[in-house]
Amino acid sequence: MRDFQSPGRSEAFGVNGMAATTHPLATLAAIDVLREGGNAIDAAVAAGAMLAVVEPTQTGVGGDCFVLLKREGQPVIALNGSGAAPSAASVERLAEAGVTTLDPESAHTVTVPGAVRTWARLAEDHGTLDLARLFAPAIAAAENGYPVAERLARDWARHMPKLSRLAATTSVFLHRGEAPAPGDLRAQPMLARTLRDVARQGADVFYEGWIAESIVKALRSLGGFHTVEDFAAFRPRYEKPISASYRGFELWECPPNGSGVAALAMASLLDRYNVADFAPVSVERYHLLAEIARIGYAERDAFVGDPDAGHVPVERMTSSARADILARRISPSGRLTDVTPITMPEHKDTVFLSVVDKDRTAVSFINSIFDDFGSGIVAPECGVLLHNRGFGFVLEPGHPNVLAGGKRPMHTILPAMLTRGGECVLSFGVTGGHFQPIGQIQVLSNLLDHRMSVQEAIDQPRIFARGDVLDVEATVPAKIVEGLRALGHLPTRASNPLGTAQAIWIDRRRGLLRGGADPRRDGIALGY
C-alpha cells in the first residue's frame, strides 16, 4: 500500500470493467463502450482510434499495432499488425539512389501501416460493435477538435523543425507556423473524413481505395518505392505467443518480429535472483537490472528480425540453461565489460492501453508511429501521418534485420500479459522504444518482488541500460547514481521520463480489478 506521506495517485478499482490508457479521452471512450455493453475488444479499438487523433506525437492510423488477447478458459492470442517494406525496396536499390544510411524523415523508412486493418480484424473476430460506433468518439474529436494536453503541447513544440519541413505536415499540425499551447483546441478534418470512410466502408478503403492511393502518391513524390499493391497485400496475422516463467507466473509476449523475446530473456535471468532482498531503489537492484538489460539487448540486437526472412532463436534466448549460464557472468561487484550490442537506431513513440471487461476478457494493445510524429510525412488528401518504422532496419548485408522488399522490421513495441493457472492476472505494457523490455521487467518486479500496488509499481523511479548507456530518471537519488558509477557504470540523467506504463490486475479472490496509469504522460485508469 502507498505511503500517503508522499504524493502520488491511488490505485484505481473496478468491478464490472476497467480501462487504462495514456489519455483521459481514450480511457473515457473505452469506459463508455463497456458501460453500453461492449466487450474489452470493442473498448480497446475505440480507445486506440481516439488515441490516433489526440496523441499524434505517439500514434496514429499511419502506424502499426500489436495485441495480446485472453478470454477466460481460453489460451492467449497474439495478433501481429506490423506492415512490411515496399516489395521493390532493397539495400541495392537504395545504394543505386545514393542512399547508404537511413534518414528517419525519408519515405524509405515508411513501411505499410498495419493499424487500421488490425483494428478492423479485432472488431470483426472478437468484438460485438461495428466500426461506426467504435470510431464515433475519435471522429468527433478529429472533426470538432480536442484540447491539447500539457505534456503533448511540450512534445509538439520540440518538433517544430520536423513539422515545418513539408507543406502538408505544416498545414495539419501548425497554426500560423506555431505549435499549439496547452489547452488549445485542435481539429483534423481530413483525418475525420478518413476515419468516417473506414467506419462506413471497412478497412479495405484504407488499403485498396482512395486512402491508399493518396498515401502512395505522397510517398512516391518523395522518392518512395511504394505501390497500392503493397498496401492491398497487407493482412494482420495471428501468431503463437511466446512465454517464460517468473515467480510462478507465466509472462506472455508477441513473437518476433516483435522484441518481446528480450523481455522474456530478461525475466528468465532475473528469476534466478532473490530481488526482494534489495530495496526497490538501491544500487544493488539497479546494478542487477542494468546488467540483465545489457545482456538481453545485446542478444536481441544480434538475432531478432522478421522470422519469415530467417531463423530467430527464440527458444535458445529464453531457455533456462541460457539463463543459468548468463547468471554466472553477472558480478555484484562490477559492471560487465564484454557486452557490446550492435548499433540500432533510437525510437520511442508509442501508446499502450489495457482493457478488462466484466467477463474478465483482457486486452493488451499497443500502437506506434515509431518516432515523435513518425516520419513527419502527411498524405494531404487523407490527413494520414505516416510512421517511420522502417528506420528500425539496418543496411548491413547478412544481418537478421537487414532491409528487404516485403520484409517486416524488428519491432520494439510489445504488449504483455501475465497468467497463473491458465488465467490472466495482469494485462500491462510499457512504452518507450528500446526501453520497453526492461521497463516491463521493472514494473513486473515491483509488483511481484516488492508487493507494490499497481499504481505504485508504475510510479517508481526507472533506469535504462543498453550497451554503454545507463539512463536514470531524475527521481533516482544522487547517492544511488554515485553508487552505480562506483561499480563501473556511466549513469546520466534521462532528459525525459523513461517510458509510460498502464496496467490492470485481475483479483479474482475479491472480484476486483486494480489498475494504474502513468503520470509521466497524461495516462489515467478508470473502473466502474
For residue 175, the 8-state DSSP code is: B
User: What residues contact residue 206 under an 8 Å CB cut-off, 6+ apart?
Assistant: 61, 116, 117, 194, 198, 212, 231
Grouping H, G, I as helix, E, B as strand and the rest as coil, residue 484 is helix
d(CA 232, CA 212) in angstroms, rounded, equals 8
Output the pLDDT for position 344.
Answer: 43
The predicted pLDDT at position 21 comes to 98
User: What pTM, to 2 d.p., does this model score?
Assistant: 0.95
| Virtual torsion, Cα 433, 437, 441, 447, nearest 10 deg | 60
Q: Which residues are catalytic?
A: 350
Q: From CA 117, how far away is CA 123, in angstroms rounded? A: 10
pLDDT, position 8: 75
pLDDT value for 194: 98
pLDDT at 153: 96
> Strands 524-527, 12-14: parallel, antiparallel or unpaired by DSSP?
unpaired
Strand partners, 492: 471
pLDDT for position 413: 82
**CB–CB of 250/231 below 8 Å?**
no
Q: What is the pLDDT along the chain (528 residues), one digit of tens a residue?
A: 556 556 678 999 999 999 999 999 999 999 999 999 999 999 999 999 999 999 999 999 999 999 999 999 999 999 999 999 999 999 999 999 999 999 999 999 999 999 999 999 999 999 999 999 999 999 999 999 999 999 999 999 999 999 999 999 999 999 999 999 999 999 999 999 999 999 999 999 999 999 999 999 999 999 999 999 999 999 999 999 999 999 999 999 999 888 899 999 999 999 999 999 999 999 999 999 999 999 988 888 777 778 887 788 788 888 888 888 888 889 999 999 877 544 444 445 578 999 999 999 999 999 999 999 999 999 999 999 999 999 989 998 888 889 999 999 988 889 999 999 999 999 999 998 889 999 999 999 999 999 999 999 999 999 999 988 899 999 999 999 999 999 999 999 998 899 999 999 999 999 999 999 999 999 999 999
Q: Are 45 and 236 in contact (CB under 8 A)?
A: no
